[in-house]
A and B are shown apart, each in its own frame.
Chain A
């Protein structure tokens, strides 16, 4: 399934870009991040907790960046799994930063492939959860960048 979303932050494109690669600051902004470890400049290993009502999943995975064009475009892939629910996720993503009147627009597209027990939830639950996490991420980015 495809998840597509965008948001605007009142900060310059350079500042937003800088934050995306400042892992300690960035991980404070991503909802549910438990740890991030930089393997090399294009590979990151991390743990992410996602909660939907009573259901809590902990994904461990690797993010690999394949395209990095400062300060406007990144693309890459994510592979991870949640042992407790025997679920795995594979995703390709691409993101773009654009300068707009109100600051910077961040837009992204994720092609998500979820397998295992969590997948039975189906698309609506997954896309609504992604939407909520994006909104929270945008809120945290604003708090971090808009002083």
Chain B
């Protein structure tokens, strides 16, 4: 069976094609996820709507309300962007550990998020940074916080005719520190078994003003545990407190089992890596 490969040159044309073909169409950007699904015959669309010829949506720029990343930005370009590295080194690091360099040269940020693969690096980090996804649909654009964007395995808040066009990350406080930890259990360039994104902010006395930790890859969608984060507010992150917060994450989260680790093992690794992430945001630099 042959597949029609359509190459619109702007988003409105792409959207029109999606309404025309409905369920028969699938959006493809870098193709690192869609092509795998096609090869494995998990999806069988009649039409592929490629975003490859749409120009002007691969950028990283700082605006007054935060960092804007175009959905068609390749992960490799995001990782190397001086603007992004300046804005949040931990985010640049997050992009730098996705797959391998061949994958990152091809994969786009919009594609990575829209695929909603649970075993991915960017979702957990972008969630703690308070990122929003801008979606373009027939009714115009809307913004969805990433914490509400991932609905389940391979499932997002995107409506059938909507396309993710941009990711916006609000400006972080000068004093905030972020960290990303990827734990792989198979090969070094494999998908994460556990992914931890962390962001913390401290007052001049070293007391914690804000703490956000999201766990990805070990659970269906990135998860924060607010009861654990709340333990840190107004406190100095002592060894005991770090242990208590890590314990609360390990205890609370409903982890999954797959080839990269059992549910039990993942809980143990969450305990270890939440602790390391907390130590990093406490002792490390921005």
Contacts and interface: CB of A to CB of B under 8 A. Distances in A.
A54 B44 CA distance: 10
Contact of B154 (A55, A86, A118, A123): A55
A52 B153 contact: yes
B43 interface: yes
Interface string B28-46: 0000000001001111100
A85 B155 CA distance: 19
A56 B43 CA distance: 7
A124 B44 contact: no
Interface in A105-147: 117-118, 120, 122-125, 128-129, 132
B257 A123 contact: yes
Given A124-B258, A128-B152, A128-B220, A53 B41 contact: no
B interface SS class? loop
Given A124-B257, A128-B152, A55 B220 contact: no
Interface in A71-112: 84-86
A124 B153 contact: yes
Interface string A50-70: 001111100000000000000
A86 B152 contact: no
A52 B153 CA distance: 7
B41 A54 contact: no
A53 B154 CA distance: 5
B257 A128 contact: no
B258 A55 contact: no
A8 to B, nearest CB: 21
B23 to A, nearest CB: 8
Interface in B38-56: 40-44
Given A123-B258, A128-B220, A54 B43 contact: yes
Of B42, B44, B153, B256, most A-chain CB atoms within 10 Å: B42
A120 B40 contact: yes
A140 B173 CA distance: 47
Given A122-B259, A124-B256, A84 B41 contact: yes
Contacts, number: 48
Contacts of A55: 37, 42-43, 154
Interface residues of B, number: 20
A84 B45 CA distance: 12
B116 interface: yes
Nearest to A127: B256
Given A124-B220, A132-B152, A117 B258 contact: no
- Among A86, A117, A128, the one with the most B-chain Cβ atoms within 10 Å of its Cβ is A128
A122 B256 CA distance: 10
A126 B42 CA distance: 14
B29 to A, nearest CB: 14
Contacts of A54: 26, 37, 43, 154
A117 B40 contact: yes
Contacts of B42: 55, 85, 117-118
A128 B153 contact: yes
A86 B40 CA distance: 10
Contacts of B156: 53
Interface string A36-62: 000000000000000011111000000
Contacts of B153: 52-53, 124-125, 128-129
10 contacts: A53-B152, A55-B154, A56-B43, A85-B41, A120-B40, A124-B153, A124-B256, A125-B153, A128-B153, A128-B220
Given A85-B41, A85-B42, 14 more contacts: A52-B154, A53-B116, A53-B154, A54-B26, A54-B37, A54-B43, A55-B43, A117-B41, A122-B259, A123-B257, A123-B258, A124-B256, A124-B258, A125-B153
